[in-house]
Structures are given as C-alpha cells and as structure tokens.
Amino acid sequence: MTPQEALKMAQEKELDLVEIAPEGKPPVCRIMNFGKFLYQRNKRAHEAKKHQKQILIKEVKFRVKIDEHDYQFKKNHIVRFLHDGNKVKATIMFRGRERSHGQLGQRILNRLTEELTEVAQTEIHARMEGNLMSLVLAPKKGLAEKKRPAEVGAARRDDTGAE
C-alpha cells in the first residue's frame, strides 16, 4: 500500500506509522504505539543489564614473614572471593632487605596456587613489580554455581531448625 494510505490508517487507529526495515524493497512499515515500543525496548535493555555479572578483581596482600594462621585466614578470603565469581590478585609486599629474597615470596605464591588448584586457575603468573610480587587467580568454570562450604552448612542448619 502507499505511504499515504498507511499513514491514514494509522491516524484512524490513533497509532504511529513506524518504518521497520528501510533497506527492504519495498520498505517495511508497521502501525504501532511508538512510545510504548520505546518504553518496552528500554525496559528489556535495563533487565538485560541487571542480569549481567560484573567481575571484580579483589586484592589480598601478604608479607614475606606471614604466620601460618594469617596465611590460612587470607587464603580463606581468597576462596570466598573466587566462589563469588571474582578474580583475586595475591600480592606479596617486600620491605628493605626482604627484596633481595624474592624466592621467599615466590614460595608463598607457589604454595597458594597449589592449595587452590581445585577452585582457581592462574591467569597471570607471579612477577615482580617494584617492591611487590603479584599473581592473578581466576575462578574455575562452573565454580560460581556451586555453593560455598559456609552456605552449605547454613542451609543444613536451616533444614534442621537448629542454630
């Protein structure tokens, strides 16, 4: 139909004539409420954006002379961050003469990667940057869907009714 006829039909129905495919032969138009169409398109875009997961890089700092309990505590934080789907940057800070003993920091980072092989993969291997040595760990595929051990324990307590 001609554009004038289509425009007349749209005005009778109190709607808009919207060109959908201008490249087509002939161009394709649709009679619709254009304001409602824009609203729904923005709403769909907003919903899609809301369901996106933004990956953050969390940083955990260690020292060369870290105690065993402190190491375990920080390692548990790393596991929690990985289960949340975030990447983790583990950093060893060197001060003064500690800088000449880089192998001590390397040993800590190697131990960390060995203990976290089940939940993490090394994305950027350990390297020295000034007085810091760091590596980046990323969660393994499918890890975010699994529950963290603390969540499993909490779910079990909720089922029994005991705290």
**Where do the structural domains in the chain lie, given as residue ranges?**
3-50, 57-139
Structural fold of domain 3-50: Ubiquitin-like (UB roll) (3.10.20)
CB 95, CB 131: distance < 8 Å: yes
Three-class DSSP category at 19: strand
Q: What's the CA gap between 85 and 15, in Å, rounded?
A: 47
- Of 44, 42, 21, 20, nearest to 32 (Cα)? 20
Q: What is the dihedral of CA 38, 42, 48, 51, to 10 degrees?
A: -150
State the pLDDT at residue 6.
Answer: 87
Six-digit token string for 29: 């138009």
Residue ranges for the chain with pLDDT beneath 70: 143-163
Q: What's the CA gap between 102 and 127, in Å, rounded?
A: 10
* CB within 8 Å of 66: residues ≥ 6 apart: 74, 108
CB atoms within 10 A of CB 54: 6
State the pLDDT at residue 152.
Answer: 46
Q: What is the dihedral of CA 115, 120, 125, 129, to 10 degrees?
A: -90
Q: What's the CA gap between 62 and 103, in Å, rounded?
A: 14
Burial 20-33 (b: 16+ CB within 10 A, else e): eeeeeeeeebebee
State the pLDDT at residue 48.
Answer: 86
Q: In CATH terms, is domain 57-139 a member of 3.30.110.10?
A: yes
State the pLDDT at residue 114.
Answer: 92
